[in-house]
Amino acid sequence: MANEKIILGIDPGTTIMGFGIIKIIHKKMHFVQMNELQLKKYDDPYVKLKLIFERTIELIDTYHPDEIAIEAPFYGKNVQSMLKLGRAQGVAMAAGLSRQIPITEYLPKKIKMAITGSGNASKEQVAKMLQGMLGLKTLPKNLDSTDGLAAAVCHFYNEGRVEVGKSYSGWSSFVKQNSSPTPKGGVKGSTVVNLRKKKS
């Protein structure tokens, strides 16, 4: 196992996409960056998806993450909101897949549990815990970026303990394995998308 690793965490959204980056050196976390992509001013949903893809590619090409952790859409009553979130997540995943970077999805409750010990923690509680863990001087006004950072930290804490995983050798297998409806209850905690050589 390499002594250094960079993890990109993404909180996808069509209004704000939050992201955070951490570097792991000898199994210790170091904060690199967090920020957000503001999409409120764009009315065209396809322009938003294009910008999400381009920003994700830019982050990948700038920071060269070894792995990507992404927050999975939660199951809500508003079907339109779920559709928009799913599209945003899919576009961010496509960017990672195009660069052959392993991707792991985490349910919101699993991320909150990893950071705070409670799956029902608020955004503010997650942000405060991250501030203490990583020695952040200040927190952003919007907490979408800390949500992205939380996905990266969750991935670090869950390394080697993925409960539910899927490995994909390419686009064709990705489409094949995701063409059927999600089983009742959805994934238990995380789903892995890995285009790199499988570990023995």
The reply to whether 11 belongs to the active site is: yes
Answer whether 87's CB lies under 8 Å from 73's CB: no
Tokens representing residue 170 in the block:
């390419």
The reply to whether 144 belongs to the active site is: yes
67 is in an annotated binding site: no
54 is in an annotated binding site: no
Active-site residue, selected from the candidate residues 67, 105, 144, 147: 144
8-state DSSP, 172: H
71 is in an annotated binding site: yes
The DSSP bridge partners found for residue 104 are 69, 192
- Type of residue at 111: I
User: What gap in Å lies between CA 53 and CA 161, rounded to an integer?
Assistant: 29
Active-site residue, selected from the candidate residues 36, 67, 71, 147: 71
Tokens representing residue 124 in the block:
């503010």
The reply to whether 54 belongs to the active site is: no
Alpha helices in 36-167 (DSSP H): 45-63, 79-98, 108-116, 123-134, 144-157
The answer for residues whose C-beta is within 8 angstroms of residue 124's C-beta and 6 or more apart is 143
User: What gap in Å lies between CA 138 and CA 131, rounded to an integer?
Assistant: 8
- Type of residue at 26: H
Binding residues: 11, 71, 144
Q: Which residues are catalytic?
A: 11, 71, 144
Binding residues for Mg(2+): 11, 71, 144
